[in-house]
Amino acid sequence: MCWIFGSLFLALLCLGVNGSQSLYDLQWLPCTFMDEDVRKNEEGHIETEYITRRAVLQFGNVGDEPLHPTSVTFLVAASKVDMRRYLKGSEDELQCEIRRYSAGRIVTRWPQDHDVWFTATLHSDGLFAITTFLKHTTTATAEGQVDFLQWITIHDGDFLTTSAAMFLLTRTPSVEVGFLKEPTLHCQYGVDHDLPRVTVVWKKHGERGELFSYSSRSGKSEGSGVSVRAIAAGNVSVKLPPTNKHSEGTYVCSVTVPPLNGSHAIPLTLREEPSVSVNVGSSLSAVAGERRKLICYAERYYPLDANIEWYREAPGGGPSLLTDVTMFSHQRHKDGTYSHSAFFYLKPSVKDSGDTYTCRVSHKSLLAPIEKSVSLTVTDPGSSWWSIKSVVVITAMLFIFCYAFPRFLKERKAAKMFLLLLRSSRSSTFREKMWSV
């Protein structure tokens, strides 16, 4: 019995390892290579033409043969930085784009020879985005001009051996939260050598200043939300203060290890689900011909557009949209959320008894609309009048038998006792007079 459980445990362990490393063992990925043709025009201005080309990101060792000879192949040789370690999802969900990268006039090299740089960005919607800097070393030298004015020529079928020098990763490529939350925006980096000279900056698009900054050269930091101790280990995630209407926007994590600079833009959107209610309960009793007002409230939602609809459904039938509904204007609260309501007047007849009225509220924050229903019971006004009279008569009779009549009997008994005492006192007085004679 023990060996059976042991075998099952090992099988599950192997499945878990294989499942978590399915992308780690990836041999190649199809990519789009956004090539550039950069030149100066007659007026001395720089013009760039982008050319989309088929490419392959191949993982292996120096000396490997291309797996797809007709495409531009970027062989990523083994190094301390392996982007596959951080991939999630499945191969079919991965999107890959390779671009040239310009180090400008920065002469810092990685380590000595003339390096040509590329970036390979892989992402899977909602899971992660990782940008890896690929270093391709050539024997040519570049002096006097910036590198993008003398890109190396790459043809279809070319095979470029590269190594991953640095990566920048986020597992929160987009964030959606409610109000008064404290979200953490993930950002992580890694390089192929120890003790890099690193600068970290967090900014928000459209705002002056920086949320956080740190330089390993000075050892100083400004701002808050990032653990300085964690930066050396590659974790530069930032924790934002409680969200409000001003928190929405795009946050940028930037990491610089000269001559490389990588950044990820992380959009943060606010979503707050509406609270939906109706001014009556789930069941409504009405008298035929009586006018009733049904109001549906959608409160404290964000962003603005919330749609309210009223439906009527008869027993055995389908719902039909009510058109005689009045909408109140949206009300904005101090915290930035909104409220809205819609109402209609109901004047039912006896045949409407059993109908159901449903308020349906839809909003961007909801996966499915919220519904609140009211079941209608209608009574005839005549029967209602007789019911009221019956209730009055019964109430009066109960009052008489339970309160008035017992009190009457009690008072009558008390009167009899008083008469008896009065007679008794008179008789004793008469006897006293007789004895005195």
At 9, is the pLDDT very low, low, confident or very high (cuts 50, 70, 90)?
very low
Q: What is the mean pLDDT of residues 17-40?
A: 78
Three state DSSP letters for 126-182: CCEEEEEEEEEEECCCCCCCCHHHHCCCCCCCCEEEEEEEEEEEECCCCEEECCCCC
172-270 against 275-381: fold identical:
yes
Contact 296, 325 (CB under 8 A): no
Is the confidence at residue 141, as pLDDT, over 90? no
Tokens of 110: 């990685």
* Higher per-residue pLDDT: 115 or 231: 231
List the domain boundaries for the chain: 25-169, 172-270, 275-381
Looking at residue 191, its pLDDT comes to 95
pLDDT at 176 over 50: yes
How confident is residue 22, by pLDDT bands cut at 50, 70 and 90? very low
Integer Cα distance of 137 and 160 in angstroms? 9
Q: What is the mean pLDDT of residues 94-116?
A: 74
Beta partners for 338?
A: 301, 332
- Strands 260-270, 175-177: pairing is parallel
* Predicted pLDDT of residue 228: 95
What average pLDDT is seen over the chain?
85
Give Rg (Cα) of the chain. 41
pLDDT of residue 28: 95
- Per-residue pLDDT for 13 more than 50? no
CA-based nearest residue to 237, from 301, 287, 333, 168: 168
Structure tokens at 170: 């986020």
CATH class of the domain defined by 172-270: mainly beta
Is the distance from CB of 336 to CB of 248 less than 8 angstroms? no
Peptide bond into 259 cis (omega under 30): yes
| DSSP string over 349-361 | -GGGTT-EEEEEE
We find that the CATH architecture of domain 275-381 is Sandwich (2.60)
| Alpha helices, DSSP H, located in 28-112 | none
20 pLDDT band, cuts 50/70/90, is very low
pLDDT band, very low/low/confident/very high, at 16 (cuts 50, 70, 90) = very low
Q: How far apart are CA 337 and CA 299, in angstroms?
A: 8
Low-confidence winner among 9-13, 164-168, 316-320 (lowest mean pLDDT): 9-13
Residue with tokens 């409220």, as numbered in its chain: 339
Whether the CA torsion 166, 171, 177, 179 is positive or negative: it is negative
**Per-residue pLDDT band at 193 (split at 50, 70, 90):** confident
* Portion of the chain with pLDDT greater than 90, in percent: 65
pLDDT at residue 146, as a whole number: 60
Residue given tokens 């993930």 in the structure block: 186
